[in-house]
Chain A
Amino acid sequence: MSDATQSTPAPKRSALQALEIDTRLLGMVGAFIVVCLVFNVLTDGRFLTPRNIFNLTIQTVSVAIMATGMVFIIVTRHIDLACGALLATCSAIMAMTQTAYLPQLVGLPLGHPAIPWIAIAVGMSAGALIGAFQGWMVGYLAIPAFIVTLGGLLIWRNVGWYLTNGQTIGPLDPTFMQFGGINGTLGTTWSWIIGILAVVAAIWALFSARRNKIAHDFPVKPMWAELVNAGIIATAVLGFIAILNSYEIPRGRLRRLFEARGETLPDDFTAAYGLPISVLLLIAIAIGMTVIAKKTRLGRYIFATGGNPDAAELSGVNTRLLTVKVFALMGALCAISAVVASARLTNHSNDIGTLDELRVIAAAVIGGTALSGGIGTIHGAILGALIMQSLQSGMAMVGVDAPLQNIVVGTVLVVAVLVDIIYRKRLGAK
């Protein structure tokens, strides 16, 4: 078992190795760029307009939020087929809370500032509780997650139906609707501020990690590589903000906004949407989930349990309770997705989130989450969701028939997993 071969560090490191960029991530970003460019050509440049990019991002948010939770579920070797249905139940609960329960039972008048927040809190509690219950059945009663959530798929969609008697509930509270996308954006100035803050934070994180490594005598990347990484991050973040800031609010809509305030629209006035609050929410969740995955014990236990459940149990991890926590987290995320989805549609309808479970699983899997457990990243899942959404909207813009769209998406899912398997074999990992 001598490691003589390993004892000399590899002398030549390619530029890519020095940057320590995950090649798998690079491949996905590459695939995403190719998809965008191809559709841009096919649509005569309509795909990569600020307007379409804006729409693409707000359409991705709901699935992407749930996909971050699905990563943890799949990493621990489970599956959640109920997330779309749970989204519907949470959406129904929140819609009823803000339009019926609070005004009629508690007596808060419609439009009261506390209403949206109470509704969201109720929805998230319900989601977490239902998730925890499903997790308890999986962890403590040892019913396979596939069965528990297959049952849940039927149960929660129809619990949602009973809560609303099958009716569409709307319009929702105006503040609540700001989480939907187009109805809640930060405008140019705040978008820039957030973008710059994000860049500063990212660079600070990069260099504090470097300092920490040096303090413990670990090898670090060459300085130029660190700077290139920082440059890539800054360009990506600020470029994204610039694109969103160049999508101008149509004049008709501006006129209505001004009239609502009793003013008239000046002739030379323009304003852009900027960063949607829903996208900001997704970014915050992505950061939070990544911190959980990488920096907390909970995250460690999730990945250890996925890698080897017996080893985790023998090392003192309470894997049953862990299952409950992971499903509860997923439930809470379903509720947040329900906020975004129903706010985007401005109402709750019965079929909200239908088939989302499949999109969410596909996003996580395209994003590199291994169904055999133990492997997966949050940013990968979000990128997976973005790729799926781009494919779908791109094909719709090109005018591909709906049945063919689904055939393509299905094929992409299978091929993506095949490519992943081949890639991992090459790497020698599992």
Chain B
Amino acid sequence: MATPLVDLKDISISFGGVRAVDNVSINLMPGEVVGLLGHNGAGKSTLIKILSGAYQKDSGEIWIDGEKAEINSPRDARRYNIETIYQTLALADNLDAASNLFLGRELTTAFGFVDEAKMESETKKIMARLNPNFKKLGEPVSALSGGQRQSVAIARAVYFNAKILIMDEPTAALGVHETQMVADLIKELKAQGLGIFLISHDTREMLDLCDRVSVMKNGALVGTERVEDVTEDDILSMIILGKNPKEAA
């Protein structure tokens, strides 16, 4: 078997008394989309935040490309080419789309000053791919709609040649048309060989986009299945009952 792009082994983390992620192991192959499903508060976001460096795990190991990785901050994660679209979007509301897109990785001129014009024109290009109606380039993102903000967050994650992409409910605020564009984008990136962790509550969308789905309940992993082996009902019962019907059978 090929080496996984990401291998999360026995990851656990607690907040106070709450065991938000409990001994979870999942992996991700290049060119694969793995979906994370589960009820609200199941621990999906917390798990992927450990991979993106936002939280530090209490125990467990992270392996990237067959090597043990130390990820203690978002900066570390970026070094492994991990890009994340957070559920909360994590945008600086007072800055415009271009400043947010390049935050932490500004383009600079020969003199070391930030190259505003260059960043703006790059933003224009990438936004045209994601959301052709997007026009408010110069305004602070606080003046954008929820979906427009989401487009900015997606643009930021895909602009910088990620190898591993984490998308936490990327389409939650998007319209039908924009959701379709993100679905197309996911397929395109997958074809380029990226590995993608996708979190969503839309079971049907997940079955359409993912190669495998993992279901979590109360911090623990219920099971991971290839999408062709399960029905939507199987997944729903995994989410609600916390039992894998195929294992029970």
**Which A residues have a C-beta under 8 Å from some C-beta of B?**
1-4, 6-7, 212-213, 215-218, 291, 295-297, 299-301, 303-308, 310-318, 374-375, 428-430
Q: Judge whether B105 and A316 touch: CB under 8 Å.
A: yes
11 residue pairs of the A-B complex, CB under 8 angstroms, read: A3-B136, A296-B113, A299-B114, A300-B99, A303-B94, A308-B94, A314-B54, A314-B90, A316-B78, A317-B103, A429-B143
B95 within 8 A of A: yes
Q: Judge whether A316 and B104 touch: CB under 8 Å.
A: yes
Q: How far is the CB of B3 from chain A (nearest CB, A)?
A: 27
Q: How far is the CB of B175 from chain A (nearest CB, A)?
A: 5
B46 contact set on A, CB distance < 8 A = none
The main secondary structure of chain A at its interface with chain B is helix
Q: Judge whether B84 and A314 touch: CB under 8 Å.
A: yes
The 10 A-B pairs of least Cβ separation, nearest first, read A1-B147, A307-B92, A307-B94, A316-B104, A374-B94, A315-B104, A311-B90, A295-B113, A3-B133, A304-B92
Q: How far is the CB of B70 from chain A (nearest CB, A)?
A: 16
B contact residues, range: 35 or more
With A299-B114, A304-B92, A375-B94 already in contact, 17 other A-B pairs whose C-beta atoms are closer than 8 Å: A1-B148, A296-B112, A296-B114, A297-B108, A297-B114, A300-B106, A303-B99, A304-B95, A304-B103, A308-B93, A308-B94, A311-B91, A312-B92, A314-B54, A316-B104, A316-B105, A429-B140
Q: How far is the CB of A17 from chain B (nearest CB, A)?
A: 13
The main secondary structure of chain B at its interface with chain A is loop
Q: How far is the CB of A215 from chain B (nearest CB, A)?
A: 7
Cα of A215 to Cα of B115 in the assembled complex, Å: 13
Q: Judge whether A7 and B142 touch: CB under 8 Å.
A: no
List residues 58-88 of chain B with CB under 8 A from any CB of chain A.
73-75, 78, 84, 86, 88
Complex interface bits, B93-119 against A, C-beta within 8 A gives 1, otherwise 0: 111000110011110100011100110
Contact of B103 among A215, A216, A312 (CB under 8 A): A312
Q: Judge whether B74 and A315 touch: CB under 8 Å.
A: yes
Chain A minimum-CB-distance residue to B102: A300
**Which B residues have a C-beta under 8 Å from some C-beta of A?**
52, 54, 73-75, 78, 84, 86, 88-95, 99-100, 103-106, 108, 112-114, 117-118, 120-121, 131, 133-136, 140, 142-143, 145-148, 173-175, 178
Chain A minimum-CB-distance residue to B151: A1
Q: Judge whether B114 and A295 touch: CB under 8 Å.
A: yes
Q: Judge whether A307 and B95 touch: CB under 8 Å.
A: yes
Contact of B174 among A1, A296, A308, A429 (CB under 8 A): A1
Q: Judge whether B74 and A316 touch: CB under 8 Å.
A: yes
Cα of A318 to Cα of B75 in the assembled complex, Å: 9
A2 contact set on B, CB distance < 8 A = 133, 175
Contact of A215 among B88, B108, B117, B147 (CB under 8 A): B117
Q: How far is the CB of A290 from chain B (nearest CB, A)?
A: 12
With A6-B135, A212-B117 as given contacts, are A430 and B74 in contact (CB-CB < 8 Å)?
Answer: no
Chain B minimum-CB-distance residue to A430: B142
Contact of A7 among B106, B135, B143 (CB under 8 A): B135
Q: Judge whether B114 and A311 touch: CB under 8 Å.
A: no
Cα of A307 to Cα of B88 in the assembled complex, Å: 14
Cα of A310 to Cα of B84 in the assembled complex, Å: 14
Contact of B86 among A3, A301, A312, A314 (CB under 8 A): A314
Q: Judge whether B93 and A216 touch: CB under 8 Å.
A: no
Q: How far is the CB of A72 from chain B (nearest CB, A)?
A: 14
